Amino acid sequence: MEEKQQAALPVRMGIDVGSTTVKIAILNNDDKLIYGVYERHRADIRKTIITEVNKALDFLEEKCPNKKNQAISVKVTGSGGLSVSQWLNIPFIQEVIAATTAVKKIIPQTDVVIELGGEDAKITYFKGGVEQRMNGTCAGGTGSFIDQMAALLETDAMGLNELAKKQEQIYPIAARCGVFAKTDIQPLINEGARKEDIAASIFQAVVNQTISGLACGKPIRGNVAFLGGPLHFLDQLRERFIQTLKLKENEIIVPENSQLFVAAGCAYSAERKITLSDGNDFVFPTIDEFRKSLENLVGVELNEVQRLEPLFKGQDELDEFTVRHSEQKAKRGELSKVGRISISLSEIKRPVRLTLTVTLDTCKNSYPVWVYPETKPD
């Protein structure tokens, strides 16, 4: 980077906060990726953001001539991006827009994108307008599903990938639900099926779930790009897709750093210059200023989850309620015999429903009674 450029243009950073990972991409002034990180957050997004963004800022401070005074333009995306946007007061961009921006910028020849994440799966069609299809609340057939199935074989996702390289046959395995998949896999293990074949079958199950559950019959044709962590790191999973879709070599697109693609699209979308309503240019934060906003997150209680007010603010309110509630009691009495009712039913020849009504003072109750004669009617 030249010092003159640094003084005029901010460095662009994109942060993709997914369901299981945090991805960061930084671009130089030539739109080239100069820094990228892919890290599991293990449900602690705040800690991971603080750690990984600080590392990225350290990198920039070392590389940029302006050091800590270098201006940066940051945007965030992903399923957990809205919270981060509020924490750090940075713009949020919808994930579809970020991914589409990166695809059109880097691999414009793409017709269809298949993207797998930690807990989501997407198919995006680009021909004839952008159309995206995504899984719902279930994480079946995603990265988390692969992790769970790998545990059954006492390995991890990468170990599963190595096993699948030596597969000889494919077994049918359900991928819509992890529970169903386990009921298919466990008998195979018990019967002594080769782990290599089970591993490849798990990947095939993911392929079947993605194609049948998302494409829903719409053809996946033309140039197909594979994005997301699982499809980047697990080449055997990609291979199952390629074989199932019968893709030719010139139709397969596996871009470099595909695991950071959405984060890169987020960075591409970050503005280099913003003109305010008063005609002045927006002043982007410096590395030092952005680092301080991260420091403010440490030890701060973040109320991103809306909670109901407690029923009672203290013991006094609870005691008051208990006293008031104890005063409102229904009157209780003892059961006692009030008489005997005797009615002749000998004249009834067919099944019939009767109603017995009993009145005592101001109380009145009715009881339905079915009567069946001893002998059947002629």
Q: Is 209 domain-assigned? A: yes
Q: What is the pTM of this model?
A: 0.74
Supply the pLDDT for residue 296: 74
Q: Which domain holds residue 22?
A: 3-102+264-295
In a domain, 207, yes or no: yes
Specify whether 96 is located in the same domain as 185: no
For residues 248 and 130, state if they share a domain: yes
Residues 114 and 207 placed together within one structural domain of the fold: yes
Nearest C-alpha neighbor of 172 from the set 160, 181, 162: 181
Q: Is residue 320 part of a domain?
A: no
User: Do residue 241 and residue 124 come from a single domain?
Assistant: yes
Dihedral angle of Cα 248, 250, 256, 259, to the nearest 10 degrees:
-30
Domain count across the chain: 2
> Based on the domain organization, do 170 and 198 belong to the same domain?
yes
Looking at the structure, tell me whether residues 10 and 43 fall in a common domain: yes
Residue 18 has phi, psi (to 5 degrees) of -95, -175
* Residues 116, 147 within the same domain: yes
Q: Are residues 239 and 129 in the same domain?
A: yes
User: Running DSSP on this structure, what letter comes out for residue 68?
Assistant: G
Q: Which strands sit side by side in the sheet containing 131-134, from one edge to the other?
A: 131-134, 121-125, 112-116, 224-227, 252-253
CATH of the domain at 70: 3.30.420.300
What's the pLDDT score for residue 176? 72
Instruction: Say yes or no: 54 and 140 in one domain.
Output: no
Q: Are residues 75 and 113 in the same domain?
A: no
Reading the chain (378 residues) residue by residue, the pLDDT tens digits are 333 333 458 999 999 999 899 999 999 989 999 999 999 998 888 899 999 999 999 999 999 888 999 999 999 999 889 888 888 889 999 998 999 999 999 999 999 999 999 888 999 999 888 898 988 767 777 888 999 999 999 999 999 999 999 999 999 998 777 778 888 999 999 999 999 999 999 999 999 999 988 998 899 999 999 999 999 999 999 999 999 999 999 999 999 999 999 999 999 999 888 887 887 878 889 999 999 988 877 765 555 555 678 888 889 999 999 999 888 887 777 777 777 888 888 888 888 888 989 888 888 888 898 888 876 655
CATH number of the domain within which 239 lies: 3.30.420.40
Of 254, 287, 306, the last residue of a domain is: 254
Residues 170 and 276 in one domain: no
Predicted confidence at residue 7, as pLDDT, reads 45
Strands of 218-275, DSSP E: 224-227, 252-253
**CA dihedral over 288, 292, 298, 302, signed as positive or negative:** negative
Per the domain annotation, does 363 fall within a domain? Answer: no
- Please check whether residue 373 lies inside any domain of the structure: no
**How many residues in the chain?**
378
Query: Do residues 278 and 237 both lie within one domain?
Result: no
| CA–CA separation, 75 and 17 (whole Å) | 11
Which of 196, 225, 254 lies at the terminal end of a domain, its last residue?
Answer: 254
Indicate whether 242 belongs to any domain: yes
